[in-house]
Amino acid sequence: MPAPATPDYFPNDAVKFILNLGRALHGYGYDAGRLEDVLGLASRQLGVEAQFFSTPTSIMASFGTLDRSRTYMIRVVPGDHDLGKLARIDHVVIEVLKGSMTPTDGSAQIDLIAAAPPTYGPWLMVAAFALTSGAVTRFLGGGPREILVGAVLGLVIGVISMFSGRYAAMTKVFEPVASFAAAFLASAVSHVFPHSVFIATLAGLIVLVPGFTLTVAMTELSTRHLASGTARMSAAFMTFLGIAFGVALGNTLAEQFFGPAANLLPTQSPEWLIPLVLLLAPLGFVVLLKAEPRDAPWIVIMGVLAFYASQLGAIIFGPDLGSFVGAFAVGVGSSVIARLLDRPSQIYLVPGILLLVPGSVGFRSIAALMDREVVSGIETAFKMVVIAVSIVSGILIARVVTPRRGTA
């Protein structure tokens, strides 16, 4: 006697919407904790019992009770932040959860948003690479010469990024290739335009170093999302190694062609540059993170808040723990702005945190270890961990003391 057919206990339109939502939010930069929270909220509002498990490369979703459930596994590729599309998807989620839009229409809207062209053109993205690298050079202790060279290296990396996006194979080796080009050019140019090669190279590579990935990984580990946090930590470490390899190869090859680099100590930059770079660096992040233009003023405010709050924290707690104050201030500020504007807090949190993340410290650590300066490398690595823990603590405490929006 054949077994009775299992009835369909699941509203397929709601399940499809939830799965599409998970794929989209994952691709636009949500960490495991936030992603699972938003999907859980959407499921409860739509009357679907569900459980979720997220990693950097997959999402697993189980719908129904333990004895009658259906499980889906979605293979996802870690994507770049797209704060503009994230804001539009957030609006769709709100409309669906309020009942103003059906889940079927919500799924269609998510597909349209995902297929929409980028907010900014490729050459504007290239210019943002140059702008960000040049501005950040001031924070790394560079003078006018290093700022100029750092901006040029950022421009070169931006061009490589633009062309690598057209070839799938190139994206897998983008960091080593870009690092090689930056290191080679920085060393070669030093013979005709003397500058601090290390600072200029680091400034050019600052957009590539996975400091934010490291911070997200430690956030996930702190919130007990162990699988996702461990995988993301491993990815950050491998990116650091790829960048260090490219830099070592570029420096070595440049020395073979041109001789030892004419490496100079950076000159002192004028203090009036600080307000200027605090304006330019966040504007570069607006383009690189594909935020909508209307969010630019608030992102600049978050950048200023992050810098001066971390400076105050450094005076009170010391330079390593000062990032805690900066991260706490950005966490609170982004939550307040998100509630006032009814937009995702991620839009304002990510650019502010980017000014604090210890990516440059991590690169210094890997570079020291590759130069066989073991003690210095380990000390710098420990400093990186302390800064990352400080940032994570500030973010998590800010989430506790400030009320969150319904979706993000």
The pTM of the full predicted model, rounded to 2 decimals, is 0.86
CA distance 280 to 134: 9
What pLDDT, on the 0 to 100 scale, is given for residue 348?
Answer: 93
CA distance 226 to 99: 35
Asked whether residue 28 falls in the same domain as residue 110, the answer is yes
Asked whether residue 150 falls in the same domain as residue 221, the answer is yes
pLDDT mean across residues, the chain: 85
Asked whether residue 86 falls in the same domain as residue 132, the answer is no
Q: Is residue 2 part of a domain?
A: no
CA distance 309 to 320: 13
Residue 80's nearest CA partner among 30, 29, 132, 123 is 29
Asked whether residue 203 falls in the same domain as residue 84, the answer is no
Q: Cα–chain-centroid distance for residue 223? A: 18
Helix axes 103-115, 83-98, angle to 10 degrees: 170
Asked whether residue 366 falls in the same domain as residue 296, the answer is yes
Residue 350's nearest CA partner among 31, 23, 22, 40 is 31
What pLDDT, on the 0 to 100 scale, is given for residue 164?
Answer: 81
Q: Is residue 5 part of a domain?
A: no
Asked whether residue 325 falls in the same domain as residue 275, the answer is no
Of 260, 280, 300, the position where a domain reaches its end is 280
Tell me the mean pLDDT in the region 326-336.
Answer: 93
CA distance 253 to 270: 34
User: Would you say residue 233 has pLDDT above 60?
Assistant: yes
Q: Is residue 254 part of a domain?
A: yes
Dihedral angle over CA of 148, 150, 156, 160, nearest 10? -160
Other Cβ atoms closer than 10 A to 98 = 10
Asked whether residue 390 falls in the same domain as residue 271, the answer is no
Asked whether residue 213 falls in the same domain as residue 309, the answer is no
Provide the residue range defining the domain that includes 66. 12-115
Asked whether residue 268 falls in the same domain as residue 127, the answer is yes
Of 74, 99, 115, the position where a domain reaches its end is 115
Q: Is residue 321 part of a domain?
A: yes
Beta bridge partners of 61: 52, 72
Q: Cα–chain-centroid distance for residue 206? A: 12
Query: What residue type is 401 in one-letter code?
Result: V
The per-residue pLDDT for range 188-215, each reduced to its tens digit, is 998 888 888 888 888 888 888 887 888 8
Asked whether residue 371 falls in the same domain as residue 244, the answer is no
Q: Is residue 1 part of a domain?
A: no
C-alpha triplet 386, 388, 390: angle, nearest 5°: 70
Structure tokens at 293: 């233009």
Parallel/antiparallel/unpaired status of strands 58-64 and 50-55: antiparallel
The per-residue pLDDT for range 47-94, each reduced to its tens digit, is 888 899 998 889 999 988 777 888 899 888 877 788 999 999 989 998
Number of structural domains (the chain) is 3
Q: Is residue 3 part of a domain?
A: no
Asked whether residue 219 falls in the same domain as residue 273, the answer is yes
Given pLDDT bands bounded at 50, 70 and 90, which one contains residue 405? low
Residue 58's nearest CA partner among 39, 32, 83 is 32
Asked whether residue 77 falls in the same domain as residue 188, the answer is no
Of 80, 115, 150, the position where a domain reaches its end is 115
Q: Is residue 7 part of a domain?
A: no
Given pLDDT bands bounded at 50, 70 and 90, which one contains residue 363? low
Distances (CA, A) of 363 to 207, 360, 390: 12, 5, 18
Q: Is residue 148 part of a domain?
A: yes
What pLDDT, on the 0 to 100 scale, is given for residue 113?
Answer: 92
